[in-house]
Amino acid sequence: LLRRVNDAALKNWFNRVRLWVVDEAHHVLKSNKWGKGVELFPNAKGLGVTATPTRADGCGLGAENDGVFESMIEGPTMRELINANYLCDYRIFAPPSDLDLHDVKITASGEYSRDGVKKAVRKSKIMGDVVEHYKKIAFGKRGVTFVSDVETAEQTAKLFNENGVPALAVSAETPDHERDSATRKLESGEVLQLVNVDLFGEGYDLPAIEVVSMARPTQSLSLYIQQFGRGLRLMNGKTHAVIIDHVGNVHRHGLPDGFRAWTLDRREKRSKNAPSDAIPVATCSQCLSVYERILSSCPFCGHFEEPSARTAPEFVDGDLLELDPATLADMRGEIAKVDQSVENAISSAKYASGGRASIKRVTESHEARQQAQRILRTSIEYWAGIKRAEGLDDSKIYRLFYFKFGVDIMTAQTLKPKEAEKLNLKINFEISKTSINI
């Protein structure tokens, strides 16, 4: 259509169209072919549908930014769809990997360089790992494996076949009739693995997929969730999907059904090691299962990872129950300094400074800190009450607070006014997103 914009008959049709609908709408930007396509219909309203309204390049999908959309209405989350039995649940495994991405560049699109990933894969044992751990974890189940390039797909499929797993490699270069045949063979069980390059990431629906093996690292949250979702389609007898992540995608992006603050605004393009806003995950050293770090032990096998130390909140993910008594005593002492009377604060300041401090300055500073702390602590208590009503115990509440706000609950009670006010705003924003009344 873009090549025929000056066609008189088409122009008349363009003006008569009253509605356009685009699936996978996170692709639509003013500057690309999708955006220019919808601009052909000046009198039409538009609807964009996507499960992942975000882009690795940070472009905003809103009309005021880089996209064409004026508002966003959020539907049910992945977790809500799982709980309502519209999608099946999942279990993630993250085997150890020697894949080194440190020298792989991030392109202008916000994604890893394909050539860089290909070279990193060649230096690693990941192709053999994919086959080995499929056989250990999910042998006999039907699956798809995502890889970065055609050569890797062909070599991985060859390894599967050599190890007794019927497999085919498919890509955009594969003729349509061969692709259709391959998916039918997977569905029937004649083939157990389809190793693919960019074929099954978006909008592909094959409930027979029971296993998703990730051998392609991605900086794109959208691509990660789309690939993950290929295994979540319901099928009789499928209790859960098995996800085997060989490339750190789940550690990079968090669980796919975690809370996401979707927006039409631009986002800062993530650097290679930038933290995600998702809750971090851990991999159990015993069973290789992945779980959110608000849990103190593996929910699948019960293994508890002993902290390397118990002398600071960062060693225990903010869980105050895991700190040693001496550390807790020191932290309580810091809180006591904030809560002490103005007279004691003046006395402490006088002796600490080696001379008589300005009583007025110390008084104003101490009272301002206490006032900011009263407000902050009220918000912390309210937020914690909501989490308690949601069923979280103290350990999970401590950990969730630490990951959400970047500070543990006890240290938060020692913050100075400016830091306390900033934290209070963040907590109240989180409170505003809940519908629970306590």
* Chain position carrying tokens 């008589």: 356
pLDDT tens column, 269-297:
655 555 556 899 999 999 999 999 999 99
| Mean of pLDDT over the chain | 92
Phi, psi of 21 (to 5 degrees): -130, 130
- Contacts for 412 with CB less than 8 Å, ≥ 6 apart: 376, 380, 401, 405, 420, 423
Q: Predicted confidence band at 96 (pLDDT cuts at 50, 70, 90)? A: very high
**pLDDT on residue 392:** 97
The residues pairing with 240 across neighbouring beta strands, listed in sequence order, are: 89
Q: 241, 243, 225: which is closest to 233 by C-alpha?
A: 241
Measured over the CA atoms of residue 182, residue 186, residue 191 and residue 196, the dihedral's sign is positive
Under CATH, which number does the domain 78-258+275-292 receive? 3.40.50.300
Token pair belonging to 289: 């299962």
pLDDT more than 70, % of the chain: 94
**pLDDT on residue 205:** 85
Beta strands in 77-225 (DSSP E): 89-93, 143-146, 167-170, 193-196, 211-214
Q: Is pLDDT of 36 > 90?
A: yes
Strand pairing report for 281-283 and 290-292: antiparallel
What average pLDDT does range 400-415 have in this prediction?
97
User: What do you get for the CA distance between the two ends of the chain, in Å?
Assistant: 56
pLDDT tens column, 325-380:
999 999 999 999 999 998 888 877 665 555 555 788 889 999 999 999 999 999 99
Q: What is the pTM of this model?
A: 0.85
Q: Predicted confidence band at 4 (pLDDT cuts at 50, 70, 90)? A: confident
What average pLDDT does range 227-252 have in this prediction?
95
Segments making up each domain of the chain, as ranges:
1-76, 78-258+275-292, 313-432
